[in-house]
Amino acid sequence: MRGNFGKTLTLAAALALTTSLARADDVEVLHWWTSGGEAAALGVLKDDLKTKGIGWVDMPVAGGGGEAAMTAVRARVTAGNPPTAVQMLGFDIQDWAAEGALANLDDVATAEGWDAVIPAALQRFSKYDGHWIAAPVNVHSTNWVWISKSALDAAGGKAPETWDELVAVLDSMKANGITPLAHGGQPWQDATMFDGVMLSLGGEFYKAAMVDLDPAALGGEKMAEAFTRLMKLRTYFDDNFSGRDWNLASAMVINGEAGMQMMGDWAKGEFIKAGKVPGTDFVCIRFPGTQGSVTFNSDQFAMFTVASEGAKAAQAAMASAIESPVFQSAFNVVKGSVPARTDVPDTAFDDCGKKGIKDLAEASAAGTLYGSAAHGHAAPAAVKNALYDVVTAAVNGEYATGADAATALAAAVAAAQ
């Protein structure tokens, strides 16, 4: 009896050990890359890890800006079962690091010389207290407009460079019988559009309001004008914009139903996935009036503290794979973003990607590179959420004037701090 019981236990223990060893070498990855273009980019990462013997357990939580994903992470951590790696943006990474929940990636970062090739603007989020706690995958930026080439040709053919030119093109698209502006009414999408609108009123204003949280800039005349512009843009949406996913808005431009979309360069991933070619099928421009400036966000993989050696090894291997220059090129070509390293050649990128790489380097050198407010790179989550609330209320017609909206924003941001 005794002997048999002992045997059973041994078998159970062996089974548990085998299971935990098998799991240890996999990475469970929580992310919000669920659209066609995003899934294609994710495939590049999965395949790359597979060649290195690292298995993948998928944990997708849809929703740009990562709000829903961050709620899911919080639940997992509270339950004492954090995922191995989590797609994360800006201040969210810093918040988790401050809670002591993230693993230290210094060994791999030092061995591979990340300090020298990852720009300071990204390191500000990938490091906490001098230690690497996240591996940046890319740099996206939000002040882009994606225009259907045929719709633009029908509207005179000249890409708008100023606010007035933008309004003229939108008017002529409307007259041509298409939806001028494809948009999905979700708070993070409204706020993404608003990044570009604010930046079109000047980089210094953008920084004062969104980064420095200066009450005078938040509630002042330029902010009132930004909201007035947003309310004007709202008049070019179709009737069904409310709640629409961003990739369905991209599809409206891709299939000729709409003229343009104001969205980060993950939208380019959708165009590319649909076989569309920049310059031929679509045109990418910076939000009119923001040429020379960039509002960026960087997807990074934060690694949570894990106990087993096998899981730690898998995290280090994943971090190393992500920072490889070859991977950086292959992944970002598909994703629509640009590399997180400064030493990756632009050879494999299409014209929009080449422009993205050049714009980023120039803005960085000129001091006109700003964190995206909509995507958690300008201020912590509480402020970002306050911005979402007011911007969405403005899109939904809750304020009589831009000045009313600006006053509401200043109050909401003050309350959030």
For residues 72 and 94, what is the distance between their CA atoms, to the nearest angstrom?
A: 17
For residues 61 and 56, what is the distance between their CA atoms, to the nearest angstrom?
A: 16
How crowded is the C-beta side of 30, counted as CA atoms within 13 Å?
25
Among 91, 266, 271, 301, binds ligand BGC (CB under 6 A): 266
Please say which residue, 61 or 155, places its beta carbon nearer to ligand BGC: 61
Q: Hey, what amino acid is at 327? A: F
Residues linked to residue 296 through DSSP beta bridges, in sequence order: 141, 371
Asked if 66 touches ligand BGC (CB under 6 A), the answer is yes
- Residue pair 376/358 in contact by the 8 Å Cβ criterion: no
CB-based burial of residue 6 (10 Å sphere; 0-12 exposed, 13-18 middle, 19+ buried)? exposed
Asked if 64 touches ligand BGC (CB under 6 A), the answer is yes
Among 27, 28, 32, 253, binds ligand BGC (CB under 6 A): 32
Closest approach of ligand BGC to the CB of residue 299, in Å: 5
Please say which residue, 225 or 299, places its beta carbon nearer to ligand BGC: 299
Segment 177 to 236, residues that bind ligand BGC, using CB under 6 A: none
- Name the segment binding ligand BGC (CB under 6 A); options: 63-71, 223-231, 232-240, 363-371: 63-71
Among 28, 29, 65, 128, binds ligand BGC (CB under 6 A): 65
Residues linked to residue 28 through DSSP beta bridges, in sequence order: 57
For residues 114 and 143, what is the distance between their CA atoms, to the nearest angstrom?
A: 27
For residues 203 and 183, what is the distance between their CA atoms, to the nearest angstrom?
A: 24
Please say which residue, 225 or 270, places its beta carbon nearer to ligand BGC: 270
- Residue pair 145/291 in contact by the 8 Å Cβ criterion: no
Among 38, 48, 270, 323, binds ligand BGC (CB under 6 A): 38
Radius of gyration of the chain (CA): 23
Closest approach of ligand BGC to the CB of residue 16, in Å: 37
Query: Binding string to ligand BGC for residues 131 to 160, with x set by CB under 6 A, is what?
Result: ---------x--------------------
Tokens 């995206």 label which residue?
Answer: 372
- Name the segment binding ligand BGC (CB under 6 A); options: 20-28, 61-69, 148-156, 303-311: 61-69
- Name the segment binding ligand BGC (CB under 6 A); options: 44-52, 60-68, 198-206, 341-349: 60-68
Instruction: Count residues near ligand BGC (CB under 6 A).
Output: 11
Asked if 125 touches ligand BGC (CB under 6 A), the answer is no
Helices (H), 79-162: 90-98, 106-112, 114-117, 120-126, 149-154
Please say which residue, 155 or 210, places its beta carbon nearer to ligand BGC: 210
Asked if 377 touches ligand BGC (CB under 6 A), the answer is no
Please say which residue, 28 or 67, places its beta carbon nearer to ligand BGC: 67
Sign of the C-alpha dihedral, residues 354, 360, 363, 366?
A: negative
Asked if 299 touches ligand BGC (CB under 6 A), the answer is yes
For residues 197 and 225, what is the distance between their CA atoms, to the nearest angstrom?
A: 9
Residue 151: name the closest of 132, 169, 133 by CA. 169
Closest approach of ligand BGC to the CB of residue 166, in Å: 23
- Residue pair 371/377 in contact by the 8 Å Cβ criterion: yes
Closest approach of ligand BGC to the CB of residue 137, in Å: 8
Which residues bind to ligand BGC, rule: CB under 6 A? 32, 38, 64-66, 89, 140, 266, 297, 299, 375
